[in-house]
Each structure stands twice: as C-alpha cells, then as structure tokens.
Amino acid sequence: MILDSLFGTRSIENPDTPLTGQTLQDYLHPDNAISVNNANAMTLGAVYSCIYVLSSSIAQLPLHVMRKQGSTIAAATDHPAYWLLHDEPNTWQTSYKWRETKQAHVLGWGNGYTQAVRSNRGELRELVMHRPWMCELVKNGNRWVYSAITEEGRALAIPPEDMIHVRALGSDGRTGISLIRQHAETIGLGLAAQRYGKDFFDGGGRPTGLVTVKDGLNKESWERLKTVWGAAVAKLRQSENKTLMMPADLDYKSITIAPEDAQFLETRKLNRSEVAGIFNVPAHMINDLDKATFSNISEQAIQFVRHTMMPWIRNWEEEINRRIFTRAERIAGYYVKFNLGGLLRGTAKERAEFYHYAITDGWMDRNEVRALEDLNPRDGLDEMLISVNAQPMSQLGKDTNPEDTP
C-alpha cells in the first residue's frame, strides 16, 4: 500500500506492530467506524428526501370510505371509519400526519402499526398509532399477538384483527424488514463521505499530513510531542488563523489525497443516485437534476405514480380493508379508496383536452367536470352531450328519418 511504502512497516510506538494504512487510520481515528441506524440514516440528505417524498405523497392523497351497491358507488359517510380515515384518526393526529408518520415508520423500520380501537359493541372508535420500536409480533401459545408498549409505559396485547400492520418487503411473511438495515453499507458510504467532507472543511480545507522529527526521539519525548501537537491542532481549528507554526526540529509533509483526486463529489452524487434507487424514487424528485430534461421528468412523474406509488397504495388499501371492516361489511360493499387524481392532475391545457373528449364522447356531463374543478353545478348542464359524428354501430348503414331526408 502507499502508506506502507511511505512509513515503512513498523509502528513508531510499538515496533512489533506492523504499520499499514488501516492501522494508521484506526490509530488516528479510533472511533472512525460508522454504525448505520434509523436515527443517523435520516441525517443523510438522500435518505431523508426519499422518505419525505414517499410519506408526503401517501399522506396528501384523499382517502375515502366507499360503498358499492349494485352499479352505484357513493361515499359511505354513514360509516364511522369515514371520518377517522378522512379527517381525524385520533386526538393527536390529522389523517395527513397519521399516514405520513406511519409510512415513514414503514420505510425506516419496515413496519407501521396502528391499533383499531373498538367499543364493547364492536364499533370503531379510534385509530391509535404505535411506535415500531416499541411493538412486535410474538407468539403466545398457539396464537399470534402484537405486544406493544404505550407512551405511558403500559403493556398491551393486541389481536391481529385489531392491528393495521403495513409492512415493507420481508422474508417471513409476517413482518417487514427495514430498507435502512438491508442497505446499511450503501447508506454508510454516504454517511462516511458526508463526515469526510465535514472533517475536511472543519480543518480549514487543508489536507492532513505526517509530522517527522529531524533528530531521534525517546519514549518520553514522543509522548510529549503527541500531547503538544494535539493541543496545537485543536487550537488551530478554533482560530481564524489557519497557519500552523512548527518548531525548527519538526517537518510536516502532506500525505492525504485531495478531495478532487479522491473523486469526493462524484462519490456523493453516485451515492445519492443509489439511495434513490433503493427507495424507487426518481432522482429529480430528491433534487438530483444532473441528467434531467423537461421531457423525461414528465415521463418519470408518470412512472413514479405507476411503479412507486401504486404498490404502496395497494398495500395500504388491502390492509385497511381487512382490518377496518368486518366480513359482513365487506360483503355489503364497503371499501377504502385512495384518490390518485391529485398526483395525476395535469396542466390546465391537458385537463381541458381531457374534459373536452369526455363530454363530447358522452361519458361525462358538464356538471361532473365542474365538480372535478371544485366549481358549483349549474342548471341545464346535467344532460349528456355526444358528437354528431358518433353513433352506435348498430345504426351504421341504416336510413335516416324520411322526414329529415331532402
């Protein structure tokens, strides 16, 4: 290694210990190892951005309880779950904050837990979110239960039918695995590059180096040199003057590779792209615009809805449906539905073209269009229109009304 050739193969302090690049790094920074966990992973900008994008996207979508009766579908405002899911699941959270926090739990810890609290008569009363690090699925005899600790320190045993458990990709079929845990090395590389940049600029933007003595040192002199040098460097970092004064019998030689030579910026960009890939988020949505153009951003936005959001939405909908509603209620037609209109909403020109074809093709009336644009209905606009050039296939080739024929 380069450091081996520079310094020889022996340690200054202990000649019996070979000096390599790794041992020198451990000597200079004994606590250098980075342990990746949910807390410090969020300090990496790419991880925070991805979790925020996915969590806020899930949270901003309108969530309704619907009921299908025959061919009619309408909002089931008479069901108690409607207001809990749409407005206020519990005393402390709005529907937006509940879904945003729960999705962040799923992405960070692999699991998001919400207890469906019911009355003695079985009526849904409240949706209480539990912290994933204080809740786990355990087997009690022949039955699985969720063991949860409340903020007050009270232990709960919650049956599976009362726990809305949204999970990430897992291996055992019952719980999810944290994306941060699965990709700790990739995230750790980003954290290491981030810390390297901080240490570099904390040192005044100057590379570190090797201090050598012109004359030999005994053990006592060596210990004193380390103490004095450490104090000088610490004082230098706190001073506006970044010039280090050295005694005449000391020599300083720079040994650190410059950040541009180590491709520091390229490493950070590549890591940002890799993290976006882990969370399946388009790079431009976390402010990585290196290869973005107007045309491919529009296409990536559509791909984001189809291939990133839709799997999570189906995950949420199916889990809520089977835990919120009883079997009899599901048979009666109750279900939950996320409205993707907000994410798919185009420009004013695109919406105008879409509404034009919907009205002239006869599958939307003008008041339905006004409702989608948050406008009040108007009299006389409920009648369906159809283009004069469009007619049923069964009428093709038939004569028109003789009275209308010239």
- Determine the average pLDDT of the residues in 98-121: 93
**Regarding predicted confidence, which is higher, 20 or 303?**
303
Structure tokens, 82: 């409607």
Is pLDDT of 9 > 50?
A: no
Answer yes or no: are the C-beta atoms of 340 and 313 closer than 8 Å.
yes
pLDDT of residue 100: 96
Averaged pLDDT score across all residues of the chain:
78
When mean pLDDT is compared across 189-203, 253-267, 296-310, the lowest value belongs to 253-267
Q: Where are the beta strands (DSSP E) in 162-257?
A: 163-167, 209-213, 250-254
Q: What is the pLDDT of residues 201-226, one digit of tens each?
A: 665 555 456 666 666 666 677 777 77
pTM above 0.75, yes or no: no
**Tokens matching residue 114:** 């919400």
306 neighbors 26 (Cβ within 8 angstroms): no
Average pLDDT over residues 41-55: 91
Number of CB atoms found within 10 A of residue 283's CB: 20
Instruction: Over range 160-185, report the average pLDDT.
Output: 89
More confident residue, 116 or 256: 116
d(CA 205, CA 263): 16
Per-residue pLDDT at 356: 85
- Tell whether the model's pLDDT for residue 135 goes beyond 70: yes
Instruction: Please give the full DSSP string across 1-47, using - where no structure is assigned.
Output: -HHHHHH-SB-SS-TTSB--HHHHHHHH-TT-PPPP-HHHHTTSHHH
The residue count for the chain:
406
Q: Would you state the pLDDT for residue 231?
A: 74
Question: What mean pLDDT do residues 163-180 have?
Answer: 89
Give me the sign of the Cα torsion angle 178, 133, 55, 51. Answer: negative
What is the maximum alpha-carbon separation in the chain? 121
| Between residues 345 and 353, the one the model is more confident about | 353
Residue 53 near residue 281, CB atoms below 8 Å: yes
Separation CA 145–CA 279 (nearest Å): 30
144: which strand partners? 139
Helix, strand, coil shares of the chain, percent, nearest 5, are 45, 15, 35
Residue type (1 letter), 377: P
Closest-CA residue to 102 (of 93, 114, 91)? 114
For residue 7, is pLDDT > 50?
no
What sign does the CA torsion over 234, 239, 242, 245 have? negative
Pairing of strands 72-75, 143-149: unpaired
Give percent of the chain above pLDDT 90.
31
Q: How far apart are CA 98 and CA 316, in angstroms?
A: 13
What's the 3-state SS for 60-117?
HCCEEEEEEECCEEEECCCCHHHHHHHCCCCCCCCHHHHHHHHHHHHHHHCEEEEEEE
> Given this model, what pLDDT does residue 54 score?
95
Decide: helix, strand or coil at residue 243.
Answer: coil
State residue 17's pLDDT score: 47
For residues 276 and 229, is the Cβ–Cβ distance under 8 A? no
At 394, the pLDDT band (50, 70, 90 cuts) reads: low
Please list the residues that pair with 116 across neighbouring strands: 127
Which H or E run contains 216?
A: none
C-beta separation of 176 from 111 below 8 A: yes
Q: Given a cut of 90, is residue 374 above it in pLDDT?
A: no
Task: Report yes or no: 74 and 67 within 8 Å, Cβ to Cβ.
Answer: yes
Q: How far apart are CA 280 and CA 273, in angstroms?
A: 10
Query: pLDDT for 181-192, tens place per residue?
Result: 888 888 888 888
Of residues 267 and 276, more confidence is placed in 276
Confidence class of residue 126 from pLDDT cuts 50, 70 and 90?
Answer: very high
- Is pLDDT of 179 > 60? yes
CB 93 within 8 A of CB 129: yes
Helix-then-strand count for the chain, H and E: 16, 11
From 128-132, 238-242, 283-287, 357-361, the region with the lowest mean pLDDT: 238-242
| Span 217-245, average pLDDT | 66
Mean pLDDT, range 128-132, rounded to an integer:
93
Rounded CA separation 27/11 (Å): 10
Least confident of 92-101, 168-177, 228-237, 333-342: 228-237
Q: What is the pLDDT of residues 18-47, one digit of tens each?
A: 444 444 444 444 455 677 888 888 888 889
Distance CA 406, CA 403 (A): 8
Q: Return the number of other C-beta atoms located less than 10 Å from residue 109's C-beta.
A: 23
Beta bridge partners of 158: 146
Q: What band does 1 get if pLDDT is binned at 50, 70 and 90?
A: very low
| Cβ partners under 8 Å of residue 265, min gap 6 | 259
